[in-house]
Amino acid sequence: MEAIIRPNKESAAHLVGQIIAGELRRNPSLVLGLATGRTMEEVYRLLVNAHREKKLDFSLCRTFNLDEYVGLPPSDPHSYRYFMNEHFFSRVNLDPGNTHLPNGLAPNLDAECRDYEEKIKRCGGIDLQVLGIGKAGHIGFNEPLSALLSRTRVKALSPITVEQNAEFFGGAARVPRRAITMGVGTILDCRRCILLATGTSKAEVIAKAVEGPITSMISATALQLHPRCTVVVDEEAASKLQAADYYRWIFENEPEWEEFR
């Protein structure tokens, strides 16, 4: 794992956008794993701009989102399919048939989860997975105690996650109680992972995810096992990292990051 600290949330999102754009330019048929949430909005805005102004081409790109609420149709403004259409899919030249999210309305949810794993496999696996992190330490909706080798399945949302997302639904009581999510094991299979976190509200959980012991209580700690995972944070989210100076030193000295400095 490596951690990169940028001065603010805009520059942190900018770096993630640049990494995604670079991977897509190198491999136009990229299989791109996506996340929703507040943190990602800026990344999608930057990718849409790159498409419009720098001709970033998504025509051959395939996408797989991490998760979807159980029980919400794509037409529901709270569904993740709706979020993705609004913020990204409808604004770039992605083929809608190449965009995938789990179907939270599937009559057989277990079969839907197995099918989602199969679809990822048929595409050759995910090349680059973009991740946010929840206050409960989740990646996707892998809530505390998620098995570190879990696959796509239905998970009950933890009270912390329900609270985190309550404002979108006009109160905790309206937040769906379950979601389909890629498993921690599914995420660990992706060839490259980038986790983006910004703001002081994420500082504590980022310190645990990056520097704490690996535990299923904080599924993001499993990323320490991944051979190619980059955590990008702003100064606020980095404020509780013990070894921040070391991470800065690596970013300044590692040739891989030269083009991004």
The site for ligand F6R (CB under 6 A) is made up of 35-39, 66-67, 80, 132-134, 138-140
Closest approach, Cβ 36 to ligand F6R, in A, equals 4
Closest approach, Cβ 37 to ligand F6R, in A, equals 3
Q: At what angle do helices 9-26 and 38-54 cross, to 10 degrees?
A: 50
In Å, what is the CA distance from 218 to each residue of 14, 61, 141, 187, 239? 26, 31, 11, 14, 19
In Å, what is the CA distance from 216 to each residue of 57, 61, 145, 153, 219? 38, 32, 5, 16, 5
Q: Which is nearer to ligand F6R, 2 or 41 (CB)?
A: 41
Closest approach, Cβ 160 to ligand F6R, in A, equals 10
Q: Is 8 helix (H, G, I), strand (E, B) or coil?
A: coil
Closest approach, Cβ 254 to ligand F6R, in A, equals 26
Q: Which is nearer to ligand F6R, 98 or 181 (CB)?
A: 181
Closest approach, Cβ 181 to ligand F6R, in A, equals 7
Q: Which is nearer to ligand F6R, 37 or 176 (CB)?
A: 37
Q: Which is nearer to ligand F6R, 39 or 221 (CB)?
A: 39
Distance of CA 259 to the CA centre of its chain: 23
The beta strand positions in the chain, using DSSP E, are 2-6, 31-34, 62-65, 67-69, 99-100, 128-131, 153-156, 178-181, 192-197, 229-234
Separation CA 203–CA 232 (nearest Å):
12
Q: Which is nearer to ligand F6R, 60 or 109 (CB)?
A: 109
Closest approach, Cβ 43 to ligand F6R, in A, equals 10
Give the tokens for residue 37.
């949430």
What count of other Cβ atoms lies within 10 Å of the Cβ of residue 121?
A: 10
Q: Which is nearer to ligand F6R, 27 or 224 (CB)?
A: 224
Q: In what order do the strands lie in the sheet with 31-34?
A: 2-6, 229-234, 192-197, 128-131, 31-34, 62-65, 99-100
> For ligand F6R, which residue has the nearest CB?
132
